[in-house]
Amino acid sequence: MPDHSEDPTTTRDGDAPLDVVLGVAGGIAAYKVCSLLRLLTESGLDVHVVPTAAALQFVGAPTWEALSGKPVASSVWADVHQVPHVRLGREADVVVVAPATADLLAKAAHGLADDLLSTTLLTARCPIVLAPAMHTEMWEHPATRANVALLRGRGAVVLDPASGRLTGTDTGPGRLPEPEQIFAAVLAVMRRAGAGRPAADLAGRHVLVSAGGTREPLDPVRFLGNRSSGRQGYALAATAAARGATVTLVSANSELPPPAGVDVVPVGTALQLRQAVLAAADRADVVVMAAAVADFRPAVEQTAKIKKKFSTGDDALVLELVRNPDVLAEISATRRRPGQVVVGFAAETGDETGDVLTHARAKLARKGCDLLVVNEVGAEKGFATLHNTVVLLDAGGGAVSVGPASKEHVADAVWDAVLPRLQ
């Protein structure tokens, strides 16, 4: 889970907690939202739970009241003197609905207001995050897809559901993302709102992100690899989804949980990554190559384990390596669709021939991408850390330093640099 220990998005000036309305619609996944509520409250947010009458059939009001510390109502007729159907939406800093059922999405899209949650959505003037959960047939129905498109067009962040086990024996897209993933998306939206920027400024865009590190097999048990954890690439995918984008994440050997609302394509080797990236790039407005792709692979993958003791008696093992394709340079040169923006990453170290930025500027010119995100790597730098410090280089010679900051903040800075190039 991302590190938010230094994230200022849970309080406003004067350290008063921000107000969150947590709507709960009537789906079986409502039980998972208890964990989301705990995450929100423990982060310092002031959370008011608004379940529908159907949601209370799955999880009762006492549970929501105990976890939030506030009374719970689903009807506009409760506490009428406080006008809750208007007040909740006006006072909220963000409204989150999980699970957002097909019925709830339809009501929100068409402005229906027959209970406290739907009226709150209609009066809210803050960012809205919807985490759908329903059976696959309902999610894929043209009516639901049209409602989602309508909501996204208005600026709401509608996360794509996860794929997996549904109610009964059903399996497919429609599963509620895990509470930790929804929580990360909510914080990303609030971070944007706190900076005075629109939450869904990537709505209608399809972005492709590669992450992790490729592994090139030597034999059945060994490989050539690198130290990339995939954290920065995953942060890029998560923040793009939270900003309204449709996201494809090509993930090489990362053990991180998939971000909410992101389509993950797992790969292992550089050749597999190239194939997956080229297949997805045709529909991508932005391609961000954050994965650490091996430059070389063994010329021959041994079918049996290489023994420690060699028949020649020589203590040295000589490996013949061949060069892998340069995926970033290929994508930059071919531009799979008009106006496509390509972003590369460079993990660099200085040497006797130049410093980090000298090598990075040469790489930017060589690769032909629009932006290059440069970070110096080494002991406790770059790989497997929760924070990052980078320089954003552009093809016109500009350079912007970012950090030290969380990898989510770095990701937002990258998307901020991409946006003008899309427009």
Query: What is the pLDDT, as a whole number, of residue 306?
Result: 83
Question: What does the block give as tokens for 131?
Answer: 């985490």
> CB count, 10 Å around CB of 242?
32
Q: What angle do CA 142, 170, 104 make, to 5 degrees?
A: 45
Query: What is the pLDDT, as a whole number, of residue 380?
Result: 55
Residue listed under structure tokens 């995939």: 230
CATH class of 206-422: alpha beta
* Among 93, 88, 62, residue whose Cα is nearest residue 75: 88
375 is a catalytic site residue: no
CA–CA distance, 401 with 404 (Å, rounded to integer): 9
CATH 3.40.50.1950 fits 8-194, yes or no: yes
CA–CA distance, 231 with 387 (Å, rounded to integer): 9
Question: How confident is the model over 59-70, as a mean pLDDT?
Answer: 95
- Of residues 369 and 16, the one with the higher pLDDT is 369
264: three-class secondary structure by DSSP? strand
Residue 110 belongs to what H/E stretch?
A: helix 102-110
CA–CA distance, 230 with 257 (Å, rounded to integer): 11
Asked if residue 304 has pLDDT above 90, the reply is: no
- Summarize pLDDT for 167-224 with one digit per residue, the tens: 877 888 899 999 999 999 999 898 887 766 777 889 889 999 999 999 999 999 999 9
Query: What is the pLDDT, as a whole number, of residue 75?
Result: 66
* Among 190, 183, 191, 181, residue whose Cα is nearest residue 161: 181
Q: Where are the domains of the chain?
A: 8-194, 206-422
Same fold, 8-194 and 206-422: yes
- Of residues 250 and 359, the one with the higher pLDDT is 250
Query: What is the pLDDT, as a whole number, of residue 49?
Result: 96
pTM of the model as a whole: 0.82
Whether 383 and 389 have beta carbons less than 8 Å apart is answered as no
394: three-class secondary structure by DSSP? strand
List the catalytic residue out of 226, 253, 324, 388. Answer: 226
CA–CA distance, 26 with 13 (Å, rounded to integer): 36
213: three-class secondary structure by DSSP? strand
61-68 vs 33-42: helix crossing angle, rounded to 10: 20
* Among 52, 119, 110, 69, residue whose Cα is nearest residue 92: 119
Query: What is the pLDDT, as a whole number, of residue 318?
Result: 83
